[in-house]
Chain A
């Protein structure tokens, strides 16, 4: 088999974060190539480089033996690179056929577009009514439309990002059967991004595993097993300990595990949240004991963001209860969770900070405030927190926008912890931070847990979870797939729980 596409030495950094570090990827004609990795491993960045959505810092792209220039999305489309993103890019009030031809050039020919849709649909076994409006379709049908939109352009390399997350088992089996057939017969290639190990083993010919922006394995799928893949994907325990030591973080001490017998300070029962008719949380229950760090690990899009929103008071659940310290909380009252002692470090810092307000104001935002707050006192309190938490600020009166990501995160943390919470909920607390800031945040968590606060750490990075948590809960499709004590949580076991294998 000849090489259809080669990515050589692709590197890309975003500020202090290295997303891709000299990544090589070779895709052969007629193969389905699996691309496996945790969130943040660099898969999306790599594919965005290929699709011209992100400009690389270094590296070359070779297509059918020729070095090609990918300056933008139109270049990539011209070269026959197509991608179906996990977040669909369909314009909902438009019809299927209109969406499919959006981005084309030239005259709009409805009859031809409909015929095209039907032809592609028939060829790949993706039935859909071209005249229907997209917002009247089910999630699976929308996924099909996105696929048809891409396949209609006859891409030589088709990238599918978690394509089956919205499809039923039967639908995905059908899809992969078709893809394999077409790819072989028509000398194309598919790059399949997935975290489902079963899917990777069943559907791909070769697989490349990325971790922390580097290729850790590449080879024929048939020669590996799901446990091996899981280990590569999340890294070996040895590596975790080495990294934890490098960051100056101690692996969660065994004594923390002992405290889990205490009455839970946070008790979540049967949470259900429906978004647009589909359940995002589906009867999720968990307990956090005082003084423990419970890691909630899972791949993005399995409901952890919704759980974070519920615990931040932004989303009112459709069912279920939350108790803090044994007291049930009325989730319809704004600020009720905060008053009950739940501190929240949300996934997106921009939802916790008002970037156009000053450092001092951001720190005072959730503190009890008199009707006529004393500015001097507010600044004095802010000054103490800034010092205590080592937040580097140009001035207390500088807008929060002027701070680096790490310092913004410290700012949120300082505010939430200064309220002396009983529970701290932190979602992806170290995303986008540099190593120094990560270590700092981790030490903080450890310290508050030692002081008896129950910490719920929601993270898609296993290193982080394993470095901090005494117990690890795995979330999958809006519910807890399993809970393991930290010492039993090997990469392999977690990878299998996450991968649904």
Chain B
């Protein structure tokens, strides 16, 4: 146990040292960069707000990624599923003539359904013609990007309405205020979005579903040994497809949260997923597909994103946080592998 911890901290240390070396080598000050990262992410309630804003969608995506990875149906197309979820959410918010909390719920549910359906397409292709899930979810991501781009440039779909002579952009109208997620409680200086609560609840639910229910038990069997699962009478096709749909659904929900967060642009925009799908997948990788472990990891990734915005003042490019993230993930997967090998 101690060996594991020290191996992990060594990995984290190596990743951070490499990042620091990069900063130093390019004429920056690692200490200043670290300070800025802290300032932007955790120093005060405003910084925390920025961090938590990212934590919500990251955690939702990661929780979903845990489900698909556990079932052996490895989904890497969350970036696209996030967008499709946001698209469905925006459509409902702008077109559905209901108001109040009902609308918010409709937006969230439809986003989740759409994300799940998008991932479900990959499950269908796998069952029908054996198309590799990893490849199809990846390729579907790029299709999803174009679907959203199409929607926001097509007037009869979601493109913003022309106001006077102003040029229209490739984005939807602003969502009505009634469709936005409210704050969760009142705190001095800190704005805790309902999305965060939703994400934490989802992560806990996924953890419970995976580790405490028959469904999760069978899912784990399927992922670890498909033949043994069939021996035990598991309906492999149905369960695997469900796992993929759930992971897509949670990614779609993340899209709706991005869309309806009170701090965001509150419009459907082609670039609005800002890599949350990819990052959420990395969070799950670092957390080794454990939704509860994904909580602190998502916090770390969210803090890095939020802190990245503060780097500019130190002359260190904000892209540093992307390097740090990638190196961290690399360190964790290599250490995880070494540990597995050691246990055998």
A→B interface (CB under 8 Å): 312-314, 334-336, 338-339, 344, 346, 350-357, 361, 364-366, 369-373, 375, 401
Contacts and interface: CB of A to CB of B under 8 A. Distances in A.
B326 interface: no
B235 A334 contact: yes
11 contacts: A312-B231, A314-B227, A314-B231, A334-B230, A334-B233, A350-B225, A370-B214, A371-B215, A373-B212, A375-B212, A401-B344
B232 A335 contact: yes
A430 B324 CA distance: 53
A361 B225 CA distance: 13
A357 B214 contact: no
A375 B213 CA distance: 10
| Closest 9 A/B residue pairs (Cβ) | A335-B233, A354-B225, A351-B227, A354-B224, A369-B214, A356-B224, A365-B232, A354-B228, A334-B233
Given A334-B233, A334-B234, A338-B233, A369 B228 contact: no
B158 interface: no
B234 to A, nearest CB: 7
B266 interface: no
Contacts of B232: 335, 338, 365-366
B273 interface: no
A339 B233 contact: yes
Contact of B231 (A344, A355, A373): A344
Contacts of A339: 233
Contacts of B231: 312-314, 344, 346, 351-352, 366
Nearest to B227: A351
B220 interface: yes
Given A335-B234, A355-B225, A373-B213, 4 more contacts: A338-B232, A338-B233, A344-B231, A352-B228
A362 B229 CA distance: 11
Interface residues of B, number: 20
Nearest to B222: A354
Contacts of B319: none
A371 B233 contact: no
A372 B227 CA distance: 24
Given A313-B233, A334-B235, A338-B232, A371 B221 contact: no
Contacts of A344: 231
Contacts of A357: 220-221, 224
A339 B228 CA distance: 16
A374 B225 CA distance: 23
Contacts, number: 67
Contact of B217 (A312, A352, A369): A369
Q: Could you tell me the dominant secondary structure of chain A's interface residues?
A: loop
Interface in B213-254: 213-215, 217, 220-221, 224-225, 227-236
A189 B220 CA distance: 53
A353 B225 CA distance: 8
A401 B231 CA distance: 18
Nearest to B234: A334
A413 B74 CA distance: 33
A297 to B, nearest CB: 24
Contacts of A353: 225, 228
Contacts of B215: 371
Contacts of A355: 224-225
Nearest to B229: A354
Given A334-B235, A354-B225, A356-B224, A372 B230 contact: no
A372 B214 contact: yes
Contacts of B229: 354
Nearest to B236: A334
Interface string B263-287: 0000000000000000000000000
Contact of A372 (B213, B233, B236): B213
Contact of B214 (A352, A366, A371): A371
Contact of A371 (B213, B224, B236, B344): B213
Contacts of B228: 350-354, 365
Contacts of B236: 334
A369 B233 CA distance: 12
Contacts of A371: 213-215
A352 B231 CA distance: 7
B230 A361 contact: no
> Considering residues A335, A339, A350, which has the most beta carbons from chain B within 10 angstroms of its beta carbon?
A335
Residue picked from A334, A335, A336, most chain B C-beta under 10 Å: A334
A350 B226 CA distance: 11
A226 to B, nearest CB: 39
Contact of A373 (B217, B224, B230, B235): B217
Nearest to A335: B233
B337 to A, nearest CB: 15
A354 B217 contact: no
Which of B220, B227, B236 has the largest number of chain A CB atoms within 10 A? B227
Contacts of A354: 220-221, 224-225, 228-229
A478 B213 CA distance: 42
Contacts of A312: 231
Nearest to A367: B232
A366 B233 contact: yes
B4 to A, nearest CB: 16
Contacts of A365: 221, 228, 232
A354 B217 CA distance: 11
A232 B189 CA distance: 89
A59 B236 CA distance: 49
